[in-house]
Structure 1
């Protein structure tokens, strides 16, 4: 087996089993073996390579569907071209009902049903349209997120696209693999805000555009985390940097954690644990030692709440519009991806954008094409104006595919949204986040209402259930949800949500609604 010399930052440290496997062989090294893996078949490959190291190339072993992998792409800032979407669709087309694409809460795409034997060819096809999967999973820097309206936003302070792309290139060595960031204590999330309502405080490092002495730069926030053991929003580092220093600052902050973070107790490996142990002021001093003299942050200004991105909205370019479509729980079939690509070409600029709420935007639609666009049958299933509960629903993968999930989140989230929208009128969109396990991929604690999958003991035995949190927000006074109900059986979830929506969010029963 190809092995890796022990990095200096691991010398003398107590390593857990996963850390020992990473130290023995860096995940990037399996790149030279992919053709061999494809030829041998997953059953005949070292299980550690299959179940762990393939994640460095975006390929995730799914115990729920043995042999049928999930492939996670990198789509910086959530922007894909029509050509790229058609390639995504063609990849999953051969897998029948197993082949779907999911929009993630990182403005990204995950393809499901992928076979290991196809991986080398798939990676070449993705490369040909400018997409990489490298370092998209496990203890690596994840997809870099930004303002979904970047470059077209009438209210933007900064076009995030150049910075999200530069950060991806820096963290992945332009898609070739970057050993500086390929063995982190846990995952690392990076984000660049572009407007006052582009809330990204759940990330490990966040760059907010802010002026200092008449010069636009970035205020730096650090330490956001949503996990099974800790949930916290990022805090200001009290650092302001020129715009062209975002990559360097990311390398310094991430590098300090890489060198000093927890490697023995994996649940405490996330960056926020290290930041809390050191303290923000002491950590700032450590950053300054590596980075050089730091200017204080004048402070970011936030809007009260995020904008609603649904419907037709004018771009800052006169005569052009962006259409916000609802994608139920972020799931796209092969045909839906192809249709999105077609609509973006026929009506827009040949581009589709993904949001952290798992929806899609089609920019560049001229005024004179809007009437025809509104008449497209596709918008019946992926509407411009979804009903209130569906509009705010976000869901992780769930137990259909994920081995960690304790509940079938996507299916229940869709069914619940339908039932509640038939029963209730909502005065405004309410963010309802579903996650199938405490790892919180569905970002439950950020939701006005959050549901975290668990199990409950009933007279019928153990059943799927949810812990319910209330009060999460991403506004100028951000808050995390607080636990209000524990182990609610899935059959009682609809009634519990109905009560919460009526009591806290102004929902009222529809006159002819059937009982929940």
Structure 2
């Protein structure tokens, strides 16, 4: 497919910030045919805007902290990966030695680190052969489509989300060839499909939640979830119900209204929820009807009290089979980890793994006779079935080790503190602690019972350094809440003490003897 420069009348007459001007001058998808040339001439010779902006349309992120070593974000709809796909990813990461690694993201996705631009053409070819893609996985594009990590094997599922997440990905990306209709959005766009009552996905821009209407299974539509530096709020009901074959048409109606009318001058104001609030939900619903047609009222979705834990061994809906939820500390994987996961999935299970939004892995299709051998495998010692209570609930963004936006070293600090507190405290149940290195909140801090957002703070000696804003009260379930700010600037070297006191005072933790 040849992607030509699209006509975009919705930009006519609008005041555009610098980023929008660059996007209007040359669509990000148009660098695709130039990637071979970029690889030949080297990153130092590539136009700066192509290098630092437009390559993100192909998942390739320039990182000022590691010049020449890029981050490559994939697309893994519903977080489903085969053993062969894991091996392909492992071989890519392995090429870069100590500079290479792989992170599970909070969108059931993978990000590869240390990637070199001269390898990108071959990497994209190998990904395509493996049924993977990185197209439109970054910046102002529709991001990875998420769903129930237990889709198809969940005894409690209402619908299998895999066909729908794949359909939406293919629709939004033109079957991973690049879709100019959605390649110049005001900001990023998040899409999700719930498959069970406890699939909490209301932090997305659009969420399809399964519910029956007059005996027919379809989806209630929720819109406007946002976690950002400007606002943190969960999605609200559009009061619309769609048939399964209408989810793409509904997505187009909602996303195109925002694409054509959203803010493109003041970039922090560009997110969909801010546009939705400026219009009002009733007026926006009327606008959707003008495009989609008359809307069927939503009969009302039912949510579970709280999300299930995937850790440990659990029966699948298929008789005699189980799935195993493994804890991957702060989502960080090496090439060897990826190979070992692939091997274990083939040796003990069906040859497939699932990624979760809390940055962990599920191995599926384990027959009863394989369970004991699986439990004894060295992989399960590295990635335990039953992690420590603090480690179990810990989620972390990349942090400033690689990300230029990061103000703090979240992954290392989160991992160290979780391990130490698990040794020092007894905790009656898992507590969600979300770490994010900056106000962009990729670590979803406001969703955590405890949230830590990177900032700057003075230590006891008055020296400015790494610090965190503390939020508490975030929850997921039938009555979800976003966290509230409790302290604005805690020095990083005091965070462990603050967390320990908080866990004792509010979450029933007691000291281990």
Shorter-normalised TM range:
over 0.9
How far 1:4 sits from its partner (Å)? Answer: 3.8
How far 1:11 sits from its partner (Å)? Answer: 0.4
1:491 aligns with 2:493: yes
Which string of whole-angstrom CA distances, capped at 9 and with x for unpartnered residues, describes residues 454-488 of structure 1? 01123252110000000000111000001111211
1:252 aligns with 2:253: yes
Provide the C-alpha distance between the structure 2 equivalents of 1:8 and 1:299, rounded to a whole number of angstroms.
37
**3-state DSSP of counterpart to 2:357:** coil
Provide the C-alpha distance between the structure 2 equivalents of 1:177 and 1:378, rounded to a whole number of angstroms.
37
- Contact 1:6–1:24 (Cα < 8 Å) also in 2: no
Which residue, 473, 476, 483 being the options, matches 1:474? Answer: 476
Provide the C-alpha distance between the structure 2 equivalents of 1:461 and 1:181, rounded to a whole number of angstroms.
46
Provide the C-alpha distance between the structure 1 equivalents of 2:314 and 2:509, rounded to a whole number of angstroms.
26
**3-state DSSP of counterpart to 1:148:** coil
Which string of whole-angstrom CA distances, capped at 9 and with x for unpartnered residues, describes residues 130-164 of structure 1? 00100000000000000000000000000000000
Provide the C-alpha distance between the structure 1 equivalents of 2:453 and 2:11, rounded to a whole number of angstroms.
35
Matches within 5 A, 1:24-63: 24-63=25-64
Provide the C-alpha distance between the structure 1 equivalents of 2:11 and 2:296, rounded to a whole number of angstroms.
32
Consecutive unaligned residues in structure 1, runs of 5 or more: 512-516
- Contact 2:193–2:209 (Cα < 8 Å) also in 1: yes
The two structures, once aligned, show a CA RMSD in angstroms of 0.9
What is residue 375 of structure 1 aligned with on the other side?
376
What number of residue pairs does the alignment pair up? Answer: 510
**3-state DSSP of counterpart to 1:66:** coil
What is residue 324 of structure 2 aligned with on the other side?
323
Which string of whole-angstrom CA distances, capped at 9 and with x for unpartnered residues, describes residues 377-433 of structure 1? 111110000000000000000000000000000000000001110110111111000
Provide the C-alpha distance between the structure 2 equivalents of 1:220 and 1:504, rounded to a whole number of angstroms.
35
Which string of whole-angstrom CA distances, capped at 9 and with x for unpartnered residues, describes residues 300-355 of structure 1? 00110000100000000000000000000000000000000000000111101000
What is residue 313 of structure 1 aligned with on the other side?
314
Matches within 5 A, 1:249-328: 249-328=250-329
- Contact 1:5–1:24 (Cα < 8 Å) also in 2: no
- Contact 2:6–2:180 (Cα < 8 Å) also in 1: no
Indicate the larger mover: 208-217 or 459-468: 459-468
The two structures have a TM-score, normalised by structure 1, of 0.98
- Contact 1:3–1:25 (Cα < 8 Å) also in 2: no
What is residue 10 of structure 2 aligned with on the other side?
9
Say if 1:296 and 1:412 are closer, same or farther in 2 by CA, change over 3 A.
same
Matches within 5 A, 1:34-433: 34-433=35-434
How far 1:6 sits from its partner (Å)? Answer: 5.2
Which string of whole-angstrom CA distances, capped at 9 and with x for unpartnered residues, describes residues 30-64 of structure 1? 00000000001011000000000000000000011
Provide the C-alpha distance between the structure 1 equivalents of 2:210 and 2:417, rounded to a whole number of angstroms.
38
Provide the C-alpha distance between the structure 2 equivalents of 1:29 and 1:442, rounded to a whole number of angstroms.
31
Indicate the larger mover: 354-363 or 457-466: 457-466
- Contact 1:4–1:23 (Cα < 8 Å) also in 2: no
Say if 1:362 and 1:105 are closer, same or farther in 2 by CA, change over 3 A.
same
**3-state DSSP of counterpart to 2:305:** coil
- Contact 1:139–1:185 (Cα < 8 Å) also in 2: yes
Consecutive unaligned residues in structure 2, runs of 5 or more: none
Say if 1:5 and 1:505 are closer, same or farther in 2 by CA, change over 3 A.
same
How far 1:3 sits from its partner (Å)? Answer: 8.9
Provide the C-alpha distance between the structure 2 equivalents of 1:40 and 1:425, rounded to a whole number of angstroms.
57
- Contact 1:79–1:353 (Cα < 8 Å) also in 2: yes
Runs of 4+ in 1 over 4 A off after TM superposition: none
How far 1:5 sits from its partner (Å)? Answer: 5.8
